């Protein structure tokens, strides 16, 4: 599989703009199981065919149980300079509920071991709104992350995915999901505690200490092109989205035959505008009407200005020199606010 990914990089090297790469991201599945040689093979292929900035952010997703002492040593001696650790919770009951392979002790150990090895640029995930999770229990999770001095935190409300054990338990009534009020309380507590401890709430679900805002994630939210390689990997060139076949054997077969197997969709002007509004409002830089007018035309900028007025009046959006951002209150209604400014053809 690693050789196929390296080959796909060669096959698609012309698809990105010819500017130095700012980020490389190993995600999707369990990239932390890659050996030193496999990681090196992929990075060698990237470096041979792309110009990489000397200060590029190179992130690897890892499960806590994969971050053994040996694995951390390998990563410390590799070009990887940022870890994304899938903690999810520091409560064993929560982890069992989400069917996670690790326990709370492994989650804490993985962070401390990485820090001891000099890998300080760490982001970790936490999930809130779990069935039966009290606000106090959620606060304990946040406080543990802050105590561990993790400089970047991504936090999401639990989504019950179909065809999972959790979905079956919910359907049978064995587990009662938390309501919107509980999730809202948890979000408020998250914002309150991280702000007190010096984290910047720079995107709805993301919080960072100074100097640790994720370059990679920010590129998504700003609509920059990206290239994804490997099974199920997604790419975007500013107009068209494409995603590779998910099946491993089908992926390997296509690469062996010297081609790529994928599906794609081309976004029309309205869809691109709507996406720019949605992503812009979620992040600290907001929606800049000068940028909207330049990319889509003055009609779109005027349309946005007119349809966002009611949210300014309600105190959910603020405008400063034609840059529109959400207030703390508005962040709870981000999707609803964005949808009112979407451009739809009658």
Between CA 92 and CA 105 the distance in angstroms is: 9
pLDDT given at position 161: 55
Between CA 289 and CA 305 the distance in angstroms is: 8
Q: Please report, for residues 209, 339, 345, the alpha-carbon distance to residue 329 in angstroms, rounded to integers and kept in the order given.
A: 22, 17, 30
pLDDT digits (tens, 9 = 90+) for 264-287: 999 999 999 999 999 999 999 999
pLDDT digits (tens, 9 = 90+) for 74-95: 899 889 999 999 999 999 988 9
Between CA 279 and CA 300 the distance in angstroms is: 16
pLDDT given at position 167: 46
**CA-angle at 124, arms to 118 and 126, nearest 5°:** 155
Q: Looking up tokens 């300014």, which residue turns up?
A: 312
Read off the pTM: 0.88
Between CA 170 and CA 163 the distance in angstroms is: 11
Domain ranges of the chain: 18-221, 269-340
pLDDT given at position 131: 83
3-state SS, residue 240: strand
Enumerate residues 6+ apart whose C-beta is below 8 A from 116: none
Q: Note whether 194 and 201 are within 8 A (CB).
A: yes
CATH 1.10.3210.10 fits 269-340, yes or no: no
pLDDT digits (tens, 9 = 90+) for 12-61: 988 888 888 999 999 876 777 788 888 889 999 999 899 899 999 999 99
Between CA 339 and CA 342 the distance in angstroms is: 5
Q: Note whether 221 and 279 are within 8 A (CB).
A: yes
Q: Please report, for residues 289, 290, 305, 306, 336, the alpha-carbon distance to residue 310 in angstroms, rounded to integers and kept in the order given.
A: 17, 21, 10, 9, 12
Task: Please tell me what DSSP assigns to residue 341.
Answer: T
Q: Note whether 129 and 182 are within 8 A (CB).
A: yes
The two tokens of residue 23 are 């980020």
Between CA 34 and CA 28 the distance in angstroms is: 12
CATH topology identical between 18-221 and 269-340: no
* Average confidence score pLDDT of the chain: 89
Between CA 276 and CA 286 the distance in angstroms is: 10
Q: Looking up tokens 């790529």, which residue turns up?
A: 260
Between CA 265 and CA 242 the distance in angstroms is: 6
**Fold (CATH) for 18-221:** Transcription Regulator spoIIAA (3.30.750)
pLDDT digits (tens, 9 = 90+) for 115-138: 999 999 999 999 998 888 889 999
Beta strand segments in 163-239, E? 200-203, 206-208, 234-236
pLDDT digits (tens, 9 = 90+) for 151-177: 999 999 876 555 555 445 445 454 544
Q: Note whether 42 and 80 are within 8 A (CB).
A: no
């Amino acid at each position: 599989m690693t050789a196929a990914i390296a080959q796909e990089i060669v096959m698609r090297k012309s698809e990105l703009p010819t500017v130095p790469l700012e980020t490389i991201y190993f995600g999707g599945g369990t990239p932390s199981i890659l050996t030193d040689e496999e990681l090196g093979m992929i990075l060698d292929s990237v470096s041979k065919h792309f110009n990489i900035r000397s200060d590029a952010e190179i992130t690897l997703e890892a499960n806590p149980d994969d971050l053994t002492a040996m694995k951390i040593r390998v990563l410390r001696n590799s070009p990887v300079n940022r870890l994304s650790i899938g903690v999810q919770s520091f409560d064993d009951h929560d982890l069992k509920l989400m069917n996670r392979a690790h326990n709370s002790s492994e989650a804490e150990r993985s962070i401390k071991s990485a820090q001891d090895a000099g890998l300080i640029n760490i982001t970790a995930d936490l999930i809130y709104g779990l069935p039966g999770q009290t606000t106090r229990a959620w606060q304990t999770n946040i406080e543990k992350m802050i105590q561990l001095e993790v400089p970047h935190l991504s936090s999401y409300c639990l989504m019950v995915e179909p065809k999972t054990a959790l979905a079956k338990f919910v359907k049978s009534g064995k587990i009662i999901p938390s309501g919107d009020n509980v999730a809202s309380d948890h979000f408020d507590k998250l914002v309150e505690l991280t702000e007190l401890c010096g984290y910047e709430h720079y995107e709805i679900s993301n919080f960072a200490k100074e100097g640790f805002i994720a370059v990679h994630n920010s590129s998504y939210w700003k609509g920059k092109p990206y290239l994804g390689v490997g099974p199920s990997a997604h790419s975007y060139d500013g107009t068209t989205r494409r995603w590779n076949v998910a099946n491993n054997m089908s992926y390997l077969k296509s690469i062996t035959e010297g081609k790529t197997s994928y599906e794609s969709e081309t976004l029309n002007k309205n869809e691109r505008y709507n996406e720019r509004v949605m992503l812009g409002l979620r992040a600290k830089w907001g929606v800049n009407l000068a940028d909207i007018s330049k990319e889509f035309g003055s009609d779109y900028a005027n349309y946005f200005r007119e349809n966002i007025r009611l949210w300014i009046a309600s105190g959910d959006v603020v405008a400063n020199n034609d840059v529109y951002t959400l207030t703390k209150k508005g962040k709870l209604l981000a999707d609803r606010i964005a949808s009112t400014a979407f451009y739809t053809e009658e």
